[in-house]
Chains A and B, each alone.
Chain A
Amino acid sequence: DSGVTQTPKHLITATGQRVTLRCSPRSGDLSVYWYQQSLDQGLQFLIQYYNGEERAKGNILERFSAQQFPDLHSELNLSSLELGDSALYFCASSVEGLGGNNEQFFGPGTRLTVL
């Protein structure tokens, strides 16, 4: 167990809908990262937050957004869902976000299925 929690574990929804994925980092970790894992794209970095502020952005679609709250948990919002958004979404956390040299601990992931 990495100490990073994610809910829900599974999510099944329809095209056009909106969902929210939740992540709680390890105690003491200030950085939260979101990754998408699909069969054809592998593990792709989406976005990073550090102590409530956005720090880095990857190939995140405009339909997706995220935020980190004062208690450091984070939510990833996916809207206008398409079939191609079906994937495993991982959250990871690390102690610091600066320097990029810190071990990232992954949560168990949320499996999103869009029908």
Chain B
Amino acid sequence: GENVEQHPSTLSVQEGDSAVIKCTYSDSASNYFPWYKQELGKRPQLIIDIRSNVGEKKDQRIAVTLNKTAKHFSLHITETQPEDSAVYFCAATPNAGGTSYGKLTFGQGTILTVHP
């Protein structure tokens, strides 16, 4: 099955700096890669996603890049703010077929701390 590795496990930055979180996946059939932000005790919330037919997607201060050949994708947050502090999860979903419909495999999570 799919395996998603996420690095780093913790990331500490100063307000205004950029933060980058990287994930690799194992199943070449995966074609949907969402990123979730989870605050302490709260539900995961989708912040951005990318599909395999594009290489990069941006939404204001957040961007995601995908390299299908190397099987890795990254989250980039620019001009970080203290409210960006949370746990970030990457995930991957394999293609349709078999018993893998919609099944998200998550990375281990990155605890991002933005210091004022």
Contact = CB atoms under 8 A, between A and B. Distances in A.
Interface of A: 2, 31, 33, 35, 42-45, 48, 50, 55-58, 90, 94, 97-109
Interface residues of B, number: 27
A98 B108 contact: no
A58 B100 CA distance: 9
Contacts of B103: 33, 45, 48, 56, 58, 100
A25 B34 CA distance: 19
Interface of B: 31-32, 34, 36, 42-46, 49, 51, 89, 93-96, 99-109
Contact of A100 (B42, B45, B95, B108): B95
19 contacts: A2-B43, A33-B103, A44-B106, A45-B103, A45-B105, A56-B99, A56-B102, A56-B103, A100-B32, A100-B93, A100-B96, A100-B100, A100-B101, A101-B93, A103-B49, A104-B46, A104-B104, A106-B44, A109-B43
